[in-house]
Amino acid sequence: MKSSRKFLVRLSCRQKSAGFTLIEILVVIGIVAVLAAIVIVAINPARQFAQARNSQRQANVAVLLNAIGQKLADNKGVFAGGTPSCPALTAGTTYRIAKFSASLPSDIDLSCLAPTYIPAALPFDPSVSGAYWISNADYNTEYTVLLDAQGRFTITAPGALIETSLGTNPPAITVTR
């Protein structure tokens, strides 16, 4: 009889250690859910894509400003005219870098910078889907240029201000030289 009790005690111990209780499984599922939520918030794909677009905007603004600087250096500080011929800018006016058949007075065609100062094409804002530049075609880069009274050029990427995935007040991307 004692031997059968030992057998039952051993059998019951084996049965308890053979699986997990419902509480243990629920605790593990809860921990995994919390960790998954933390990882998704940390990665936040919308924010990552918004930061990538803003990085591209910063690079594009720098490319445009460098091209204008090179054009000024080649033409002894004069932007308009020269080879290739670029349009004149009025100081204090903000121009949209664009070209349309029925253009606005605030549009300026800076295709004169490509390919001499910008390889192949004018850069476009990354929010413009399928954007590319073709000679003699309508385009809108979504960037603006301003010539101030002191002769400094300011390039702005207004698309950065509407990146809602970066928060309610994303920084403007503006470079002056």
Question: pLDDT for 67-88, tens place per residue?
Answer: 999 999 998 888 888 777 889 8
Q: Give the amino acid at 162.
A: I
pLDDT surpasses 60 at 29: yes
Q: What is the mean pLDDT of residues 100-119?
A: 84
Higher pLDDT, 25 or 163: 25
0.75 exceeded by pTM: no
Are 97 and 64 in contact by the 8 Å Cβ rule? The answer is yes
Using pLDDT thresholds of 50, 70 and 90, give the confidence band for residue 100: confident
Are 88 and 79 in contact by the 8 Å Cβ rule? The answer is yes
pLDDT surpasses 70 at 15: no
